[in-house]
Amino acid sequence: MEDAYARSVSEVLDFFGVDPAKGLSDSQVDHHSRMFGRNVLPEEKRTPFWKLVLKQFDDLLVKILIVAAIVSFVLALANGETGLTAFLEPFVILLILAANAAVGVITETNAEKALEELRAYQANIATVLRNGCFSILPASELVPGDIVEVTVGCKLPADLRVIEMSSNEFRVDQAILTGESCSVEKDVECTSTTNAVYQDKKNILFSGTDVVAGRGRAVVIGVGSNTAMGSIHDSMLHTDDEATPLKKKLDEFGSFLAKVIAGICVLVWVVNIGHFSDPSHGGFFKGAIHYFKIAVALAVAAIPEGLPAVVTTCLALGTKKMARLNAIVRSLPSVETLGCTTVICSDKTGTLTTNMMSVSKICVVQSADHGPMISEFNVSGTTYAPEGTVFDSNDQQLDCPAQSPCLHYLAMCSSLCNDSVLQYNPDKDSYEKIGESTEVALRVLAEKVGLPGFDSMPSALNMLSKHERASYCNHYWENQFKKVYVLEFTRDRKMMSVLCSHKQMDVMFSKGAPESIIARCTKLLCNSDGSVVPLTAASRAELESRFASFGDETLRCLALAFRTVPHGQQTISYDNENDLTFIGLVGMLDPPRKEVRDAMLACMTAGIRVIVVTGDNKSTAESICKKIGAFDNLVDFSGLSYTASEFERLPAMQQTTALQRMTLFSRVEPSHKRMLVEALQNQNEVVAMTGDGVNDAPALKKADIGIAMGSGTAVAKSASDMVLADDNFASIVAAVAEGRAIYNNTKQFIRYMISSNIGEVVCIFVAAVLGIPDTLAPVQLLWVNLVTDGLPATAIGFNKQDSDVMKAKPRKVGEAVVTGWLFFRYLVIGVYVGLATVAGFIWWFIYSDGGPKLTYSELMNFETCALRETSYPCSIFEDRHPSTVAMTVLVVVEMFNALNNLSENQSLLVITPRSNLWLVGSIILTMVLHMLILYVHPLAVLFSVTPLSWGEWTAVLYLSFPVIIIDEVLKFLSRNTGLRFRFRLRKMDLLPKDRRDR
């Protein structure tokens, strides 16, 4: 029954055919069970494990590598090769792919936990009326029409419509569903609101929320998927994970690279058709296979096998940095996504605010001698910790607040007219509440005011343990006064009173809505001397004016009063709640975190828009936005602030315009949050969404990066990509800066690896075109790609964050990692790397003192050596020295190229190697590893290399070092000519831009 909130109690009961005095009969239960289903959230269909595994290999580059491994394996068998060397290449490739697949499967398995943890918010049992008798049944057996008894501490087992209240007040904490900072008062009356959201449905109790005050009966109107919690479950179930911007760019790169690789491989094979019949191959078919192997080697050289591992490693390093900033990353790609975030949709309660009601202002009558003179006090401290001070209107701190008569009585009344508990939780190292947040705020106020008569009170209290300090002053007042009788809060009176006995004096303390308390007061307490004087019309008007001003600041306001009663009286009635003595007003709110204002300014500077999203009412939310700087210097919020209902009523075109300016979105429910994320994504925004409640989970999962609060629900955490350990919005901004730095470093090592791979492709291609022997063996290419490239590329991830990283606008979603002038730069570097490698190979044959000193034509015609008379043995072309020199040139030139990537445009003379000692260390380690395979015999055999002489090492250095000079010239041009902006590659963009590039 979807509109039960708008129907009267009798209409709802008639709809289900239930007698409120007897409940459903057994036959009705069976009928309703068949009609509406069981009260459980449906099991989602899990993706089979084998499908998860296969999904990890659904990538073009991965498929090319698999084909290359299979072809390499088949060719090794066809050539009769045996031993480890024959199968090393396909084995290493498949090992890399298996490792990447394992990481992907683990990540996707964790993503499904959010749906499982949602079940934790379902109640286990319910007190149900059936066949005229109450019984306790499993909540899963409830059916629509069941009459359920609910009371304080009860977790609601289904969506219910209130039909009867057995107490004066009935309140429910539904923050996990709506994000409201205070508990909500429920009643029996129907609601006529059109387009009602959860907050408007005052007669509906939602599944999974908690009763915090009162007792009553309700009829079940929705079970399982037909509850508010069920709609969240369905929303999460039908939300597909979005690929991150970097993942999209790498996928585009893969498609582009696959086409280039295929073209070059075919070209190399076709160019050498004339050599298929060379005698050295032993026939046309064997010649075709030989050059096919070269094409496979070219594919292995072109694909940066180590790129996924290096990207993963760099992002993992970023997660460690972010953990130090209290941002715990659950999904590695989200580290990079933060860097291009354009909009942060931030939950208000608990993120921008502390989610702890706190008294911030006190108003008392200082003196009434010459008309009412009002004094206001400000109270510091924004959490439940009993830490804070009281300041007067001149911002002067009060050393002993309890010496002021009104503050003294305020502390007494706050402690005694109170049903809540404040306690310290050593496991979380935090103070926690039990009961209403407004009442706990009064308990904390009593602790901040302290006790009278002790000059050393502030320092004495600080000497207590946190457990003792939690309620030390409250316990003092409770020991001084014995509670005799309590008049509970009722909606018509809007107040609560408690009768207390103290020695030979009995006092009644009252608290409640200011309009109710002030109307019942005839006297007031003066703060100047503690005297009690009549409450005049002028004083009453002034107090009502101050109460109104508290409302303008959207403070939740309570008034406190007292009255002495005859000694020995054991009860009080409503008639006693007259002739009260006014003590003062207290204004409280869920205060904004002190760090948030600076964080908001940092977002604006960085070009990131913040939209505050909350279930609270519009005026309260606007007040918080003013305090945190979202509405700085603005009086009119039209066009910036919308409730969910206001936004939905706008025409489609106006909604599009509103989304571009919106700063506040209030009175929302879960579906609105998800709708907001989708609408922003449709405008090509990269959206970060924060939240802590079950209601936030669908939006967290849908957003480009979902950010959950450390103190939030398990559901929100499981649906998120990142968890804020300190629940602080400022930590998000720090994480964005780190995300941008990580992306910059990611670009640097991707460019490094691409230029290195271009060098390897150029090397093999040039060797094939020139018709010289194979320059590098496939196993040598794998070694270079995985080890000698991988270590420095990973170390580039430790490049220091630029000082102006948060002064630039967010990068565009479609921005390619390497485009235009940068592609030309790295093409030049890559071509030099390839030519230097081939030059090292040729140098050994023609110029090396240890080589045969052939002519160039003899080297090019090596395949006919057996058919000619030569002064050198043909076995010289199988010598391992030339390929070792070539491989060493490739390794050393890439080490120098790694130094080039300390900065995109800054010279090595400015950004020196000392700025990244990790990179220096990785270069040293790489060279040590290379030395090992050269000079340790078993490894040398495995990699088909041999030790080099000093002369050969000298040639290697001469051929390698110029890469530094070439890149310095290119950097100089980038810095001084603006060429990097004018240069365009129309058809050779390494990472094609998204059509939706803004």
Hey, which residues does 714 pair with through a beta bridge?
Answer: none
CATH of the domain at 161: 2.70.150.10
For the segment 154-169, the average pLDDT, to the nearest whole number, is: 87
Q: Are residues 782 and 693 in the same domain?
A: no
Nearest to 211 by CA among 151, 277, 265, 266: 151
Structure tokens at 409: 């009585």
Mean pLDDT, all residues of the chain: 81
Q: How does DSSP classify residue 222?
A: E
* Together in a domain, 716 and 787: no
With respect to residue 884, please indicate whether it lies within any of the assigned structural domains: yes
Q: Taking a C-beta distance cutoff of 8 angstroms, is the pair 245, 688 a contact?
A: no
For 429, other C-beta atoms within 10 Å of its C-beta total 8
Residues of the chain with pLDDT > 90: what percent? 30
Least confident of 49-58, 82-91, 231-240: 82-91
Asked whether residue 934 carries a pLDDT value surpassing 50, the answer given is yes
Task: For residue range 784-835, list pLDDT tens digits in order.
Answer: 876 677 788 878 877 877 666 777 778 776 666 666 777 788 789 989 999 9
Residues 811 and 914 in one domain: yes
What is the chain's Cα-based Rg?
A: 37
Instruction: Give yes or no: residues 297 and 345 share one domain.
Output: no
- Residue 988 pLDDT class (50, 70, 90 cuts): very low
CATH number reported for the structural domain that contains residue 622 in this entry: 3.40.50.1000
Provide the H-helix boundaries in 463-605: 466-469, 472-480, 514-520, 537-552, 596-605
According to DSSP, the residues that pair with 343 across neighbouring strands are 609, 687
Residue 97 maps to a domain: no
Distances in Å between the Cα of 13 and the Cα atoms of 149, 227, 824 are 15, 18, 76
Q: Is residue 73 part of a domain?
A: no
> By C-alpha distance, which of 773, 792, 780, 775 is closest to 934?
780
- Asked whether residue 252 carries a pLDDT value surpassing 50, the answer given is yes
Q: Cβ distance 342 to 808 under 8 Å?
A: no
Q: Which of 40, 118, 112, 43 is CA-nearest to residue 715?
A: 118
Mark whether 306 and 186 lie in a shared domain: no
Residue 86, in any domain of the structure: no
Contact call for residues 746 and 314 (beta carbons, < 8 A):
yes
For residues 280 and 228, state if they share a domain: no
Q: Is 632 a catalytic residue?
A: no
Task: Say whether both 966 and 833 belong to one domain.
Answer: yes
Q: Of the ranges 174-183, 262-271, 298-307, 858-867, which one carries the lowest mean pLDDT score?
A: 298-307
Domain count, the chain: 4
Average pLDDT over residues 747-766: 80
Say if 722 falls within a structural domain.
Answer: yes
Give the residue carrying structure tokens 């020199």: 885
Cα angle, residue 425 at apex, residues 423 and 426 outer, rounded to 5°: 135
* Residue of 503, 504, 487, 483 lying closest to 495 (CA atoms): 487
Contacts (Cβ under 8 Å, ≥6 apart) of 508: 497, 498, 499, 500, 562, 563, 564, 565, 572, 576, 577
Q: How far apart are CA 516 and CA 514, in angstroms?
A: 5
718, 614: one domain? yes
Q: What is the pLDDT of residue 332?
A: 65
Of 189, 219, 238, the last residue of a domain is 238
Q: Distances from the Cα of 246 to the Cαs of 99, 103, 340, 666, in angstroms? A: 20, 17, 10, 33
CA distance 986 to 663: 39
Winning range, highest mean pLDDT, from 301-315, 565-579, 704-718, 858-872: 565-579
pLDDT of residue 179: 66
Q: DSSP readout, 169-219?
A: --EEE-HHHH--SS-EE--SS----TT--GGG-TTEE-TT-EEEE-EEEEE
Beta-carbon count within 10 A of 910 CB: 11
Tell me which DSSP letter residue 83 carries: S
pLDDT value, residue 250: 65
What pLDDT is attached to residue 308? 63
CATH of the domain at 259: 1.20.1110.10
Q: Are residues 262 and 221 part of one domain?
A: no
What percentage of the chain exceeds 70 in pLDDT?
82
Q: Are strands 580-589 and 358-367 parallel, antiparallel or unpaired?
A: antiparallel
Q: Are residues 535 and 389 in the same domain?
A: yes
Q: Which residue, 531, 615, 603, is CA-closest to 808?
A: 603
At 301-343, the pLDDT tens digits run 666 655 666 666 666 677 777 777 778 777 666 776 777 889 9
184-185 β-sheet, strand order:
184-185, 171-173, 210-213
**Residue 390, in any domain of the structure:** yes
Higher per-residue confidence, 695 vs 965 = 965
Q: Domain for residue 991, yes or no?
A: no
Q: Which whole number is the average pLDDT over 912-934?
A: 92
Q: Are 31 and 228 in contact (CB under 8 A)?
A: no
Final residue before a domain boundary, out of 693, 727, 761: 727
348 and 314 in a single domain? The answer is no
Q: What are phi and psi of 594, to 5 degrees?
A: -70, -25
Does the pLDDT at position 88 exceed 70?
A: no
Read off the pLDDT band of 754 (50, 70, 90): confident
pLDDT at 995: 35
State the burial class of residue 484 (Cβ atoms within 10 Å of its Cβ: 0-12, 13-18, 19+): middle
State the average pLDDT over residues 741-756.
77
**Confidence band of 922 (pLDDT split at 50, 70, 90):** very high
Q: How far apart are CA 96 and CA 104, in angstroms?
A: 13
Per-residue model confidence as pLDDT tens digits over 626-658:
888 887 666 677 888 999 889 999 998 999 999
Same domain as 508, residue 493: yes
Lowest mean pLDDT among 169-183, 347-361, 547-561: 169-183
Cα angle: 225, vertex 228, 229; to 5 degrees: 70
Q: What is the arithmetic mean of pLDDT over 550-562?
A: 86
Give 652's contacts (C-beta < 8 A, 6+ positions apart).
none
Average pLDDT over residues 414-432: 89
Query: 89-137, pLDDT tens digit by residue?
Result: 667 667 766 766 665 565 455 444 544 444 454 557 888 999 989 888 8
b or e along 724-757 (b: 16 or more beta carbons within 10 Å of the residue's beta carbon)?
A: beebbbbbbbbbbbbbbbbbbbbbbbbbbbbbbb
Of the candidates 347, 590, 721, 967, the residue annotated as catalytic is: 347
* Structural domain boundaries, residue 723: 328-353+593-727
> Of 525, 555, 586, which one is at a domain's C-terminal end?
586
Please indicate whether residue 373 or residue 292 has the higher confidence score (pLDDT): 373
| Region 759-780 average pLDDT | 82
Query: What CA–CA distance (Å, rounded) separates 854 from 862?
Result: 10
The answer to the question of residue 689 being in a domain is yes
